[in-house]
Structures are given as C-alpha cells and as structure tokens.
Amino acid sequence: MLLGGLLAVPVTAMARSAGAETGVQAFAVDRNGSPIGHHRLSFARNGDRLDVAIDIALEVKLAFLTLYRYRHQNREVWEGDRLVSFTSSTDDNGTPHRVSARRSGDVILVESGGGRIEAPGDALPTTYWQRRFLDAPTWIDTQSGRLLSCTVTPRGSAQIDAVGQNVAADRFAVTGDLTLDLWYAAEHWVKLEFPASDGSTIGYMLDRAPPQVLAALG
C-alpha cells in the first residue's frame, strides 16, 4: 500500500510462502510513539491456495479533532508462490482509490483509476509480508496501481521488540519511489518505519502472529 495525505509513505521463492498459514498477523501502528491504529493480515490456506485479507485503519487526532483518517482493505490470492490476483480499496482521508490485478499468462494486468497496465509476471504487491518481496524486480503499489522502482539496502541486524519478546531481526532500507525501513526475523515481517510528510515518524510493531510465526521467533 502507499499511504497518502499526512502519512504519505514514500506506502508478497518458495512453494509455500514463509509465514503464510492460517492465522492473523497484526501490527500496532504509532505516530511519534502515540497509537493511531492497526495493520492486520489474515491468512487462510487450502492446499496450494492462499488467501490473504489485509485491513489497515489509521486515525490521527488532535484533542477531539480528527486531522487525518486512512482505511485500506486488500485481498490477495496465491497459488504456491505465484500471485493470482489482488483487489484493493482505499479511503485516503476522503479520497477513494481502487485497484485490481490478475495474472494472465506471463504478465499481471493491473487496473486502477489511471487505466490498465501490464506488470511482469514476477512482480509483487507492496504488502511486505514476504521477505522475498525485497528481491522482486518490480513492485505493484496496491493503493495506486503504479509500478514502483526502488533500491533495497541491508542495514544489519538488531534486537527489536515483537509480540512481547526481544527478537533478532534484519533491517532493510528502501529508497526510490518508496522511503521506508523494513525488519524481518528469519522470513517473517516484524517491523516497519517511515517518515510522514509532516516530519513525524510512523512505526509498526508486531503484536500478534500465527503460531508458526511465534515458534520461529522464539
């Protein structure tokens, strides 16, 4: 996703994608340390098919005044390690966006308010939950439908807080069409951070994960 407005984020190979089993993976989202909402991914597997439902709800307030509201919902369908389709809808502080993508042979057809484009068959959507996302040659922005060009730079490993415990995670800096930092423990997404357009810092901390992810982190 590519969060717009106040939060403008400069902002999914294996036969069975890591961390992608039935269950919920959830992040608490804060702005300069103050809670503003959640980012949840719900995984449901049936054989080689994997359905991923994503729900993001953010709200920035000043006293009783809502300064900014963001809602994003997305549903991905995978077969093995291949993206079959995704559909997303976004309310970016009153501005709507809709994107749909589906595989057609060796390409992915992406439709949005900007029209239809073809993405390479190995393109991945900007939902971050797979570590192999970092190696994809092309990213599809799930809010706008644009194809993004980014550079990923490893920033070393560190201990971070995730699901109430201290875990070792690898940090990666993303620059280009997006500006953010992502952390992965083994193959599992555990943290995200990016600068908002107003100079504040938006942070994601993993606070819920499926059993197999908890076992890997432990």
DSSP 38-106: EEEEEEEEETTEEEEEEEEEEEEEETTEEEEEEEEEEEEEEETTEEEEEEEEEEETTEEEEEEEEEETT
pLDDT in tens, 27-58: 999 999 999 999 999 999 999 999 999 999 99
Tokens 């949840």, located at residue: 40
Share above pLDDT 70 across residues of the chain, in percent, rounded to a whole number: 90
Give pLDDT, residue 217. 84
Per-residue confidence band for 112, with pLDDT thresholds at 50, 70 and 90: very high
Give pLDDT, residue 15. 34
* Position 18 pLDDT exceeds 70: no
Per-residue confidence band for 85, with pLDDT thresholds at 50, 70 and 90: very high
Residue 16, SS3?
A: coil
Share above pLDDT 90 across residues of the chain, in percent, rounded to a whole number: 82
Instruction: State the average pLDDT for the chain.
Output: 90
Give pLDDT, residue 14. 33
Give pLDDT, residue 20. 56
Give pLDDT, residue 99. 98
Give pLDDT, residue 3. 52
- Asked whether the CA dihedral 136, 2, 35, 54 is positive or negative, the reply is negative
Section 120-149 average pLDDT: 96
pLDDT in tens, 182-211: 999 988 999 999 999 889 999 999 999 988
Token digits for 40?
């949840």
User: What predicted TM-score, i.e. pTM, was given to this entire model?
Assistant: 0.89
Distance CA 122, CA 65 (A): 43
* Position 7 pLDDT exceeds 70: no
Residue 201, C-beta contacts closer than 8 angstroms, at least 6 positions apart: 31, 32, 193, 194, 195
Give pLDDT, residue 16. 44
Token digits for 91?
């309310």
Nearest partner of 125 among 103, 104, 145, 151, judged by Cα: 145
